[in-house]
């Protein structure tokens, strides 16, 4: 089906005037005219219409609609506030203290009657249905218009692109004005929380707190993160990983034969689809139960490696279900045609033993399901992905797996064009590549049949919910670019089979752009993500009485790419739990290193809400909390956090909900500090009292200094007690504020120093005055003696 018909078929009628005018763009291209009739004015009109008018129209409408949906979501949360557990608990606590005053000043919220309560819940539920529908339509709207832009650009380059290719310019424009992104997940979490709250309220069930910090799956699952790495940053990324994890050696030989100079393995995957590319379309559109099928092996096919037949089905919640088995290359074509059903493998499993009945039945089921899947969908090989993989993992410890795929080449493997097929229609793979043992960059392949992916692909998989500081630092640094849901299969089809498909992945326009990023820009984007995540996290937690703390706090990115380097007074320890990670199903039991499951088709990616560490302040930042020598800190201070409508300051953090458990040494340390201050106060008081008594009535200077020392002693006594009570409160409240305060010690030291200086000054002046009096007395005595002599 041509894209124009596809666009008209999928238009959402309430927004029909907001879509790209694809027919007008086709008219401006003058498809039926010759190249000679195409002038520079025509080129200017087309580019202006596409890049400025149509693209800007879609971008503005998408942003406006997205903001309206967020506002409507916040309004629903506002309506549910009187029913929220956290607010009602706060009101009940306030009523216990001052019941009458709360009723008089109107601060308490009146309880709703059962009828009004049910009506409010149904009204909110209806509004949530409407919002959810429009969120879904907005995602389709962005994807459809994004495809229209790329289709119009390709048509231009094909018809009028001899002197000027428009695709790079449009890619840059789309990167600046994104139409199709994956930024709706936080809004969906908020909607999901409200759905749960409303349904529990209507059914009369107790509200269970919905925590994004806990996984809803078992601890054996993997959290997966995918990134692109610029080739200039490859070495730095590798060295960062190598400091913590060793390289996993893929070698079928024994450790005695394996050489230390062995190269990283080359992995080849052949993906299946039909001429309509229905598997690709379902995967891009994220259709429930979307499936993918591929063959995968390590090294060259001429070396007779184990070939894995793998089928993966995406389930609700981004979990996955996988079936796979090994097959020899000589049986692959027969299996695809349905002439071979793996009878020999089943016989070997039954005759040799070592396999229980359950394993054999699972093997048979996997064979039958995959074979039926091929037949029902008329599948054939359409794409080959070849890449070099460097894997990092501690041998025998699968809690953390990191893979770095470089030299990624995507090659057409189809026979769709019968006049010029890329592969023999009666064979399952390209003989020209495998028989000749071609390697990257596959120079023998014809132009248009291969695509070299410009970046490396980094995948980080961590088992369970444990967080690792260095991994968090790497993921937040400027060295990598997040690429959620990236798939080699989708990328290859979108680039090599562009004429056969009418939808494209959201990341396609970013592939050809420069992904290198300055550390400062990476830092700013990280802070914006944390701020946005904090707002959504609190909005969800407030419904269930879980007073979620805003996740946003100022921090500096890791040593891997810190913009502030060593000058900043902030540090970044391991990040606390991320809300609602999506767990990836993994078949990691009993697999050898070279049989590790390649998770390219894992659509499940961890959607992250980031929380940041406490600040570590020293020096001037302790005395003056608002002062920082870092330009990034000053920039953060200028940015004031503005909460969205319906969101309010939580007041109490989730971590503060349970009972206070503090180690005894914390209390004793506070007491020791208090006793030290009292000791200083007693010493100063004894000094001032002794000085005052020894001075006598005639020595005014000593008496004055004694009074000054007394005032310092009194200040020391009050300061010590005040800080003891202040720190005692911080400990009870589990506050993240700093415990050290430099004001008191500075006052005591300054007071003593001033008193000593005054004492020295007064004493020195007294000595000078004493010398003058002695000279006067001596002069008077001399003149008196002379007068006596004259009288004689």
pLDDT (mean) for 381-398: 89
Q: Tell me how far apart the alpha carbons of residues 249 and 262 are, in angstroms, rounded to a whole number.
A: 8
Confidence class for position 294, pLDDT limits 50, 70, 90 = very high
Q: Which of 672, 753, 752 is nearest to 715 (CA)?
A: 752
Q: Tell me how far apart the alpha carbons of residues 138 and 62 are, in angstroms, rounded to a whole number.
A: 7
Q: Which residue has the higher pLDDT, 384 or 719?
A: 384
The reported pLDDT for the residue numbered 255 is: 43
Identify which of 107-111, 357-361, 394-398, 726-730 has the greatest average pLDDT.
Answer: 357-361
Q: Which of 647, 460, 675 is nearest to 540 (CA)?
A: 647
Confidence class for position 184, pLDDT limits 50, 70, 90 = low
Confidence class for position 382, pLDDT limits 50, 70, 90 = very high
The reported pLDDT for the residue numbered 489 is: 92
pLDDT (mean) for 388-409: 89
The reported pLDDT for the residue numbered 603 is: 42
pLDDT (mean) for 532-558: 51
pLDDT (mean) for 20-34: 79
Q: Tell me how far apart the alpha carbons of residues 142 and 285 are, in angstroms, rounded to a whole number.
A: 12
Specify burial of residue 90 (Cβ count, 10 A radius: 0-12, 13-18, 19+): middle
The reported pLDDT for the residue numbered 488 is: 92
Q: Tell me how far apart the alpha carbons of residues 24 and 36 are, in angstroms, rounded to a whole number.
A: 21
pLDDT digits (tens, 9 = 90+) for 625-676: 444 444 444 444 445 556 666 566 666 666 555 666 677 888 888 888 889 8
Specify burial of residue 52 (Cβ count, 10 A radius: 0-12, 13-18, 19+): exposed
The reported pLDDT for the residue numbered 405 is: 93
Is the predicted pLDDT of residue 72 greater than 50, yes or no? yes
Confidence class for position 250, pLDDT limits 50, 70, 90 = low
| Average pLDDT value for the chain | 74
The reported pLDDT for the residue numbered 575 is: 35
**Candidate from 39-48, 297-306, 481-490, 559-568 with smallest mean pLDDT:** 559-568
Structure tokens at 726: 């202040």
Q: Which of 690, 683, 693 is nearest to 752 (CA)?
A: 683
How far is the CA of 620 from the CAs of 568, 569, 628, in angstroms? 12, 10, 8
The reported pLDDT for the residue numbered 492 is: 92
Supply the angle between the helices 55-79 and 185-203 in degrees, to the nearest 10.
Answer: 30
- Go through the chain and tell me how many residues it has: 792
Identify which of 222-226, 454-458, 544-548, 582-586 has the greatest average pLDDT.
Answer: 454-458
Q: Tell me how far apart the alpha carbons of residues 763 and 757 are, in angstroms, rounded to a whole number.
A: 10
Collapsing DSSP states into helix, strand and coil, what is residue 320? strand
Residues pairing with 584 in the sheet? 222
pLDDT (mean) for 358-375: 90
Is the predicted pLDDT of residue 778 greater than 70, yes or no? no
**Residues contacting residue 74 through CB under 8 Å, at least 6 positions apart:** 539, 644, 645, 646, 647
Confidence class for position 611, pLDDT limits 50, 70, 90 = very low
Confidence class for position 590, pLDDT limits 50, 70, 90 = very low
Specify burial of residue 316 (Cβ count, 10 A radius: 0-12, 13-18, 19+): exposed
Identify which of 139-153, 319-333, 365-379, 597-611 has the greatest average pLDDT.
Answer: 365-379
**Candidate from 29-33, 416-420, 677-681 with smallest mean pLDDT:** 29-33
Q: Tell me how far apart the alpha carbons of residues 735 and 390 are, in angstroms, rounded to a whole number.
A: 44
Q: Tell me how far apart the alpha carbons of residues 664 and 188 are, in angstroms, rounded to a whole number.
A: 44
**Candidate from 6-10, 127-131, 491-495 with smallest mean pLDDT:** 6-10
**Candidate from 204-208, 428-432, 665-669 with smallest mean pLDDT:** 204-208
The reported pLDDT for the residue numbered 554 is: 39
Confidence class for position 593, pLDDT limits 50, 70, 90 = very low
Confidence class for position 267, pLDDT limits 50, 70, 90 = very high
Is the predicted pLDDT of residue 383 greater than 90, yes or no? yes
Q: Tell me how far apart the alpha carbons of residues 393 and 551 are, in angstroms, rounded to a whole number.
A: 31
The reported pLDDT for the residue numbered 409 is: 93
**Candidate from 75-84, 312-321, 536-545, 679-688 with smallest mean pLDDT:** 536-545
Supply the angle between the helices 519-543 and 631-638 in degrees, to the nearest 10.
Answer: 40
The reported pLDDT for the residue numbered 583 is: 29
**Candidate from 240-249, 346-355, 690-699 with smallest mean pLDDT:** 690-699
The reported pLDDT for the residue numbered 66 is: 86
Q: Which residue has the higher pLDDT, 774 or 484?
A: 484
Where is 45: in which H helix or E strand? helix 40-47
Identify which of 29-33, 150-154, 183-187, 549-553 has the greatest average pLDDT.
Answer: 150-154
Is the predicted pLDDT of residue 551 greater than 60, yes or no? no
Q: Tell me how far apart the alpha carbons of residues 415 and 333 are, in angstroms, rounded to a whole number.
A: 14
pLDDT (mean) for 468-484: 88
The reported pLDDT for the residue numbered 212 is: 41
Query: CB-hemisphere CA count at 13 Å for 221?
Result: 21
Percent of the chain exceeding pLDDT 90 equals 13
Is the predicted pLDDT of residue 738 greater than 80, yes or no? no
Q: Which residues of 330-361 are buried (b: 16+ CB within 10 A; e: fewer)?
A: ebbeebbeeebebeebeeebeeeeeeeeeeee
The reported pLDDT for the residue numbered 106 is: 43
The answer to whether the CB of 458 falls within 8 A of the CB of 227 is yes
Confidence class for position 273, pLDDT limits 50, 70, 90 = very high
Q: In whole angstroms, what separates CA 394 from the centre of its chain?
A: 25
Where is 78: in which H helix or E strand? helix 55-79
Confidence class for position 308, pLDDT limits 50, 70, 90 = very high
**Candidate from 134-138, 182-186, 320-324, 479-483 with smallest mean pLDDT:** 182-186
The reported pLDDT for the residue numbered 766 is: 75
Q: In whole angstroms, what separates CA 113 from the centre of its chain?
A: 43
Confidence class for position 336, pLDDT limits 50, 70, 90 = very high
**Residues contacting residue 1 through CB under 8 Å, at least 6 positions apart:** 502
Taking the CB of residue 783, how many other CB atoms lie within 10 A of it?
Answer: 9
């Amino acid at each position: 089906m041509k894209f124009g018909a596809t666009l008209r078929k999928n238009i959402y009628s309430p927004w029909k005037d907001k879509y790209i005018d694809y027919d007008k763009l086709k008219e401006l291209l003058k498809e039926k005219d010759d190249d000679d009739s195409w002038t520079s004015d025509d080129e200017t009109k087309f580019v202006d219409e596409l890049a400025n008018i149509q693209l800007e129209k879609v971008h503005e409408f998408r942003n406006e609609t997205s903001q309206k949906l967020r506002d409507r979501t916040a309004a629903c949360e506002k309506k549910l506030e009187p029913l929220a557990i956290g607010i009602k608990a706060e009101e009940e606590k306030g009523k216990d203290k001052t019941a009458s005053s709360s009723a008089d000043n109107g601060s308490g919220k009146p309880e709703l009657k059962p009828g009004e309560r049910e009506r409010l819940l149904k009204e909110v539920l209806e509004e949530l249905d409407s919002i959810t529908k429009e969120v879904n339509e907005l995602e389709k709207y962005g994807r459809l218009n994004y495809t229209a832009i790329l289709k119009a650009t390709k048509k231009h380059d094909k018809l009028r692109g001899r002197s000027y290719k428009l695709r790079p310019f449009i890619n840059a424009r789309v990167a600046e004005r994104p139409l199709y992104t994956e930024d709706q997940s936080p809004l969906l979490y908020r909607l999901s929380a409200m759905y749960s709250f409303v349904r529990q309220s209507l059914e009369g069930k107790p509200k269970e707190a919905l925590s994004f910090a806990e996984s809803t799956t078992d601890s054996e699952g993997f959290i997966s993160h995918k990134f692109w790495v610029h080739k200039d940053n490859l070495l730095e990324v590798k060295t960062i990983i190598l400091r913590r994890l060793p390289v996993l050696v893929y070698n079928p030989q024994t450790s005695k034969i394996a050489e230390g100079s062995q190269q990283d393995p080359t992995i080849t995957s052949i993906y299946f689809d039909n001429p309509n590319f229905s598997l690709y379309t379902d995967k891009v559109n994220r259709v429930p139960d979307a499936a993918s099928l591929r063959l995968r092996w390590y090294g060259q096919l001429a070396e007779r490696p184990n070939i894995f037949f793998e089928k993966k089905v995406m389930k609700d919640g981004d979990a996955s279900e996988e079936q796979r088995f090994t097959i020899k290359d000589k049986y692959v074509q027969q299996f695809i045609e349905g002439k071979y059903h793996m009878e020999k493998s089943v016989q070997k499993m039954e005759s040799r033993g070592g396999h229980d009945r359950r394993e054999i039945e699972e093997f048979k089921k996997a064979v039958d399901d995959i074979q039926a899947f091929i037949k029902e969908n008329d599948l054939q090989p359409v794409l080959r992905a070849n890449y070099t993989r460097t894997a990092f993992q501690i041998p025998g410890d699968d809690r953390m797996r990191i893979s770095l795929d470089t030299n990624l080449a995507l090659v057409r493997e189809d026979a769709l064009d019968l006049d010029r097929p890329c592969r023999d229609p009666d064979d399952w793979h390209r003989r020209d590549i495998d028989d000749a043992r071609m390697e990257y960059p596959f120079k023998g392949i014809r132009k248009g049949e291969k695509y070299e992916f410009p970046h490396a692909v980094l995948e980080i998989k961590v088992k369970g919910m444990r967080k690792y500081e260095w991994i968090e630092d790497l993921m937040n640094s400027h060295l990598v670019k997040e690429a959620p849901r990236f798939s080699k299969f989708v990328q290859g089809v979108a680039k090599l089979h562009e004429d056969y498909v009418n939808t494209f992945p959201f990341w396609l326009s970013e592939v050809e752009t420069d992904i290198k990023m300055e550390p400062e820009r990476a830092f700013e984007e990280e802070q914006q993500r944390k701020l946005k995540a904090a707002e959504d996290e609190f909005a969800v937690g407030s419904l269930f009485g879980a007073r979620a703390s805003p996740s946003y706090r100022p921090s500096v990115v890791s040593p891997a790419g810190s913009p502030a380097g060593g000058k900043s007074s902030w540090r970044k320890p391991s990040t606390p739990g991320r809300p609602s990670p999506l767990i990836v199903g993994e078949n990691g039991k009993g697999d050898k290193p070279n049989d590790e499951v390649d998770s390219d088709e894992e659509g499940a990616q961890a959607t992250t809400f980031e929380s940041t560490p406490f600040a570590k302040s020293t020096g001037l930042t302790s005395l003056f909390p608002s002062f920082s020598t870092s330009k990034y800190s000053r920039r953060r201070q200028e940015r004031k956090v503005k909460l969205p409508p319906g969101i309010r300051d939580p007041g109490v953090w989730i971590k503060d909900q349970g009972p206070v458990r503090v180690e005894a040494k914390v209390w004793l340390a506070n007491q020791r500090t208090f006793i030290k201050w009292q000791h200083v106060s007693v010493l100063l008081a004894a000094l001032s009292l002794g000085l005052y008594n020894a001075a006598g009535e005639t020595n005014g200077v000593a008496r004055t200094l004694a009074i000054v020392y007394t005032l310092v002693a009194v200040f020391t006594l009050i300061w010590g007690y005040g800080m003891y009570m202040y720190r005692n409160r911080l400990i009870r409240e589990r506050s993240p504020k700093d415990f050290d305060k430099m004001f008191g010690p500075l006052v005591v030291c300054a007071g003593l120093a001033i008193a000593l200086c005054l004492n020295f000054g007064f004493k020195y002046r007294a000595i000078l005055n004493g010398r003058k009096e002695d000279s006067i007395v001596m002069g008077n005595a001399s003149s008196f003696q002379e007068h006596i002599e004259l009288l004689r």
